[in-house]
Structure 1
Amino acid sequence: MTTPARIASLVALMLVTLSVAGPARAEAAFTLGLSEQKLGMWQDARFAALGVRHVRLIVAYDLVLKNDFSRYDAWMAAADARGMDVLIAFNHATNSNTRLPSVSQYRKAVRNVRARYPRVKAMSAWNEANHTSQPTHRNPRRAASYYNALREECRGCRIVAADVLDQTGMEKWLSTFKRYARAPKLWGLHNYGDANHFKPLKRTGTAKLLKLVKGEVWLTEAGGIVRFGRYYRGGRAGEARAARATQQTFALARMSSRIKRVYLYHWDAEK
């Protein structure tokens, strides 16, 4: 997640998640997970009651490059204690969203993560790589180099090649990325726009991505927005609208049997 104000409400999440339990969940071809940075989720009995087994954590490359895991150890310990399947995504530096690591620095960051959290078998090369908040948004070729390096360093892992946002320019960015990426088999999409603008399914970024790439797709950040800028003002009306948008997220996931996972973002509202 690149913008703290982009909020998916706990209330909306609970309502919609519970609504897909039972027969509806059996129909779905996807597995439901959660993307969350904060520890509160692990202490919440409502989260435990959902039975979610897949979670996603974003790590800043500059911290893990210097073996600083102080922000992540407690979260990962909680995930390990509960037997969670963790997807780790690399993100921009804590003090700069414009500085690109060299490929050798990136490799070292990956090795450090692998050594620290050997149970992790799923990684995303870069979080929301085509968004302006990321140093990769103007350099899809470098993003492909990171993917190629991650593929070599984490053999046997599930590797999300490109984790992209459903925004203008996605197709061009991906076209360049694909020229330099070696045999990508798994793709990530953050389809907030598709879900929250209630676009017809055939005219969505999700539909475009499915045409552009081959292989499996995970919606690595998805769900309804309660409060964001001047467009989404929060409150009960915002929660109800976000619940509908999360239902739309599930409809988008059912567009193709290639969409195998949906990670809703996120559990706790930003303070």
Structure 2
Amino acid sequence: MRRIALLASLAATGLLAVPATGQAAFTTGIGDQQPSMFSSPFFPALKVTHVRYIVSWDAMNHPQEVREVATFMAAAKSRNAKVLVAFNHSRFGKKSAAPSPAAYGKAVAKFHAAFKSQVEAYQTWNEINHCGSQPAALCKGATGAKRAAALFKELKKRAKGKTIVAVDLLDGNNAKAYRGTAAYAKNFVKFAKSSKPTVFGLHNYSDTNRSSATRTKFIVKNGLPKNAKVWVTETGGIAQFGGSFPFDLQRQARSVKQAFKIAGQVKQIKRLYLYNWTANEGGRFDSGLVDASGNPRPAYTVAVKRGK
């Protein structure tokens, strides 16, 4: 009884985190490409130990990228951060070319041999269904999903002992797009079934920045297995994105709050990576929690408070 009374007292004073009834439990992380994030005086208050980093699938063939990866990994280690590595199209090779499963397998095995001690988990391919940035052989329909499944199988075989986020999907801004994402996911699950994918990645920017949860819930319900674990590996508030989202820091803060709200509503979501730390002021896409001078934006405060 004394223990129960103590717990109740801690909860009442806010010293004990107690999830609301029916609210999903998830871990928060952040994605960024800049090692300077870890040396920011504002980073510790975010209290994250999980970070996400994107690399070319053929990174080990390019010395400049190898140096960049090593620098990021060392900075992450200085903060005891666990790294989720997301493979992506080539930066220095042919961006529009999809590797064969065999070539991909050899490349990721080489990366894993070099950095496995610093990597917690891998993603097969970043936003693999996004034809605006990914090879057509991977992003389109059932054919792309089949190729994606083949890459997943190679990665799982080459990185034994690591968590593999089987497929990483972008939600889509309209009904046709997000229904297409669900269909892609369903095909992927069918083709990858023999390798038993359990963790799936989702980027739900369209929901978080439109005060919605429709896309996330539809994709999870109609595209993924009932027992799927979902890692939202990119999400958050857009400060600016072309003409669709003019620069607005208050809207960005509201969108970060929405990201946490969605993760609390969808029980399959087990991890949430905000994107990103470093502002790209003046660029086409800017979602930084801190501005170009390294000073916190309103969205940073929302992230520190986990959307509360």
Give the TM-score of the pair, scaled to structure 2: 0.75
Cα deviation per residue 1:86-116 (whole Å; 9 max; x = unaligned)?
1000000114331001111111121122111
Counterpart pick for 1:175 among 186, 193, 212: 186
Does residue 64 (structure 1) correspond to residue 60 (structure 2)? The answer is yes
Give the TM-score of the pair, scaled to structure 1: 0.85
Inter-partner Cα distance in structure 1 for 2:211 and 2:48: 26
Offset, 1:44: 0.3
Preserved CA contact (<8 Å) 1:121 1:156: no
| Secondary structure of 1:244's aligned partner | helix
AA aligned to 1:91 is N
Does residue 185 (structure 1) correspond to residue 187 (structure 2)? The answer is no
Offset, 1:64: 2.4
| Secondary structure of 2:58's aligned partner | helix
Moved more, 159-168 or 64-73: 64-73
Q: How does 1:80-159 map to 2 (within 5 A)?
A: 80-95=77-92, 96-119=94-117, 120-132=119-131, 133-135=133-135, 136-138=138-140, 139-159=144-164
Report what 1:225 is aligned to: 238
Inter-partner Cα distance in structure 1 for 2:255 and 2:79: 29
| Secondary structure of 1:71's aligned partner | helix
| Secondary structure of 2:48's aligned partner | coil
Inter-partner Cα distance in structure 2 for 1:196 and 1:156: 36
* Count of aligned positions: 244
AA aligned to 1:218 is W
Report what 1:208 is aligned to: 218
Alignment CA distance shift 1:226-1:149 (3 Å): same
Preserved CA contact (<8 Å) 1:65 1:108: no
Inter-partner Cα distance in structure 2 for 1:148 and 1:26: 38
Offset, 1:25: 6.2
Alignment CA distance shift 1:196-1:78 (3 Å): same
Offset, 1:165: 0.4
AA aligned to 2:37 is M
Does residue 241 (structure 1) correspond to residue 251 (structure 2)? The answer is yes
Offset, 1:26: 4.4
Counterpart pick for 1:164 among 140, 156, 169: 169
Offset, 1:85: 1.0
Q: Relative contact order, CA 8 A, sep 6+: which one is greater?
A: 1
Instruction: Extract structure 1 runs of 4+ deviating beyond 2 A.
Output: 22-28, 62-68
| Secondary structure of 2:265's aligned partner | coil
Alignment CA distance shift 1:25-1:269 (3 Å): farther
Offset, 1:140: 1.6
Structure 1: runs of 5 or more not aligned: 1-21
| Secondary structure of 2:104's aligned partner | helix
Counterpart pick for 2:43 among 47, 69, 85: 47
| Secondary structure of 1:69's aligned partner | helix
Aligned-CA RMSD value: 1.8
Structure 2: runs of 5 or more not aligned: 1-13, 282-308
AA aligned to 1:121 is E
Preserved CA contact (<8 Å) 2:186 2:224: no
